């Protein structure tokens, strides 16, 4: 009789461990998928930046500092090797984009340029997609992190190699403001 109780408890514990492991794998895969989706939209934005720079350069060639800062921010963001580093570099890229659009405000001919307007509209759509995918990514990360940080999951997470994933947060209040892409 005691052996059946011990076997029953072992079966329940084993079932819990199996359920925890499989559920955590599903959530970790969800985090990776959400990051990959967000990465696709960020790459679209990275691809738009050289076109924006070239268009602005034609009208505001003496704004080299702003254009160079944007190009450098793009390069640093693309070269980031980890998710956390990428998220930190994204804040600088957002700031550089804001500076570019602030410069564009001073050039009425640029604001009327059809190519610039098309790029601006495309960037606005991409920014919206990035915001949506960032929201989804953070939701999945929250679920995953909660699962591996609460008891008894926190006791199983380490041995199975599950580690806390970074949230995609924007640092300062200035960086939290939307990139203005309308004229």
pLDDT in tens, 127-168: 999 999 999 999 999 999 999 999 999 999 999 999 999 999
Please provide the average confidence, as pLDDT, over all residues in the chain: 90
Q: Find tokens 């949506």 and name the residue.
A: 132
pLDDT in tens, 89-133: 998 999 999 988 888 888 888 888 899 999 999 999 999 999 999
Domain for residue 24, yes or no? yes
148 vs 176: CA distance, rounded Å: 29
- pTM for the complete prediction? 0.84
Domain extent at residue 50: 2-166
13: CATH: 1.20.1440.20
Q: Average pLDDT in the 66-94 region?
A: 92
Domain for residue 102, yes or no? yes
Q: How far is CA 10 from the centre of its chain?
A: 42
How many residues would you count in the chain?
Answer: 183
Question: What separation in angstroms does the CA of 92 have from each of 17, 38, 55, 174?
Answer: 42, 17, 21, 11
């Amino acid at each position: 009789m005691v052996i059946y109780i011990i076997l029953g408890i072992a079966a329940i514990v084993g079932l819990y461990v199996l359920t925890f492991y499989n559920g955590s794998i599903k959530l970790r895969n969800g985090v990776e998928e959400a990051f990959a989706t967000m990465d696709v939209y960020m790459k679209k934005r990275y691809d738009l930046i050289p076109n924006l720079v070239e268009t602005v350069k034609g009208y505001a060639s003496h704004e080299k500092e702003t254009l160079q800062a944007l190009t450098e921010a793009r390069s640093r963001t693309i070269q980031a090797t980890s998710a956390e580093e990428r998220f930190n570099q994204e804040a600088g890229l957002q700031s550089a984009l804001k500076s570019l659009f602030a410069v564009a405000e001073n050039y009425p001919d640029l604001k009327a340029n059809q190519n610039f307007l098309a790029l601006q509209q495309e960037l606005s759509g991409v920014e919206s997609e990035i915001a949506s995918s960032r929201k989804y990514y953070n939701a999945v990360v929250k679920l995953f992190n909660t699962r591996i940080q609460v008891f008894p999951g926190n006791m199983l997470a380490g041995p199975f190699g599950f580690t806390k994933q970074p949230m995609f947060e924007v640092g300062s209040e200035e960086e939290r403001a939307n990139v203005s892409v309308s004229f």
